[in-house]
Amino acid sequence: MSEEVRGVQILAELSETIQTKPPLTYRNLTLVPLVGLNGSVSYLVASEALEQGLLTVQEVSTAGQVNTLRVENKSPHRILLLDGEELVGAKQNRILNTTILLEAQSVQDIPVSCVEQGRWHHCRPDFISGGLSFPKLRASKTRRVTESLCSIGQPLADQGEIWDEVEQALQAFELHSPTKAMKDVYDRQKDNWENFTKALAYPEGVCGVAASIGGRMLILDVFDKPDTLKKIWPRLTAAYALEALQQRNEPEKSFDEKNARFFLDGLKRCQTQLFKAVGLGEELRFQSDELFGQALWFEQSVIHLALFPNDGREHGQGRMMPPAFRRSRHMH
């Protein structure tokens, strides 16, 4: 079986397995809960591992390197770091370029991007867990990382584009941040996004969620088991809420299970490519005219999948596909 066929099969099986539940709505943000997965892969999530002192994250050297950090898993458990997860501290705050599953008792260099443009000095020696990136930032980063994997085999993002996304968020809330830090958006909008997280409590047994703003699909996140989503639900909904607050003036339309099902079914129509993951498993990248995204595949399970609408809103570039995806489409 070819890598592309295997990738298509993984997405098709996931699409068939996931089922939708009635939507939850608060203001202009609607969440469609997803059920159907309850995997057996054991791991800690990075935020709990950091809090327990089982995971340390540091600069790779005294001089540091913007796009790389070094993590040490001191525990006997695997640890999951999420795409777009913020790490706060050291010389500047960073976000993960992709989802990574670390082996137990291991040291790994990981690909990151900066979300604090105006600081390059230590505020503390290591990192603590921060928020999750806004979906719009995650979407643009996912595109660039996919292009980089297809062209040079490395999960690199466009740093300038990420700084632009953070700057746009600061401007949307009319905030001044001395270091242009994403964390300042979270800190100063806390009262507002907490209203969303209080109103949209985690629905038991849910392993994923499709989020929309004003009836327009925003993002779909799926995890291998409900336990994982339950742990990160407050931070995930906070990120969705900050996006909704930025788009608070858009006209509202409905978004329901049928709309979410359209994107889940769309997984069957994607072109795919598989790459060796940074940590354990394989990185699956996928794209079609309707959607694009990424997934981490390990031990016959999708550990985390993130899907975005291919609506042409990304910096006016339309439905752009990386060259490797375009070639595979032309072959059929």
| pLDDT values of the chain reduced to their tens digit, one per residue, 332 residues | 788 899 999 999 999 999 999 999 999 999 999 999 999 999 999 999 999 999 999 999 999 999 999 999 999 999 999 999 999 999 999 999 999 999 999 999 999 999 999 999 999 989 999 999 999 999 999 999 999 999 999 999 999 999 999 999 999 999 999 999 999 999 999 999 999 999 999 999 999 999 999 999 999 999 999 999 999 999 999 999 999 999 988 777 889 999 999 999 999 999 999 999 999 999 999 999 999 999 999 999 999 999 999 986 543 333 444 545 544 333 33
Q: Which amino acid is at 118?
A: G
Residue tagged 């049928």 (tokens): 258
Taking residue 176's Cβ as centre, other Cβ atoms within 10 Å add up to 8
Separation CA 156–CA 112 (nearest Å)? 8
Q: Which two tokens stand for residue 186?
A: 């979270």
Angle between helices 135-152 and 323-330 (to 10 degrees): 70
Listed residue (225, 257, 121, 240) closest to 178, CA to CA: 121
Domain that holds residue 299: 3-330
What are 79's strand-pairing partners? 44, 102
Separation CA 144–CA 140 (nearest Å)? 7
What are 3's strand-pairing partners? none
> What per-residue confidence (pLDDT) applies to 312?
61
Q: Which two tokens stand for residue 111?
A: 């690909």
Per-residue DSSP letter, 173? T
Helices (H), the chain: 3-17, 46-51, 135-152, 159-172, 182-188, 190-199, 226-246, 257-266, 323-330
Rounded alpha-carbon distances, angstroms, from residue 145 to 99, 104, 152, 288, 327: 12, 26, 10, 16, 18
Burial grade of 193 (CB within 10 A; 0-12, 13-18, 19 or more): buried
Q: Which amino acid is at 1?
A: M
Q: Which amino acid is at 93?
A: N
Q: How many separate domains does the chain show?
A: 1
Side-by-side strand order, sheet with 127-132: 55-59, 68-73, 106-114, 94-96, 85-89, 127-132
Say if residues 101 and 79 touch (Cβ distance below 8 Å).
yes
> What per-residue confidence (pLDDT) applies to 4?
84
The SS3 of residue 178 is: coil
Say if residues 244 and 213 touch (Cβ distance below 8 Å).
yes
Say if residues 73 and 103 touch (Cβ distance below 8 Å).
yes
Burial grade of 25 (CB within 10 A; 0-12, 13-18, 19 or more): middle
Listed residue (36, 9, 8) closest to 261, CA to CA: 36
The SS3 of residue 269 is: helix
Separation CA 67–CA 73 (nearest Å)? 20
Is the pTM value of this prediction over 0.95?
A: no
Say if residues 104 and 78 touch (Cβ distance below 8 Å).
yes
Listed residue (133, 141, 121) closest to 59, CA to CA: 121
> What per-residue confidence (pLDDT) applies to 325?
52
The SS3 of residue 314 is: coil
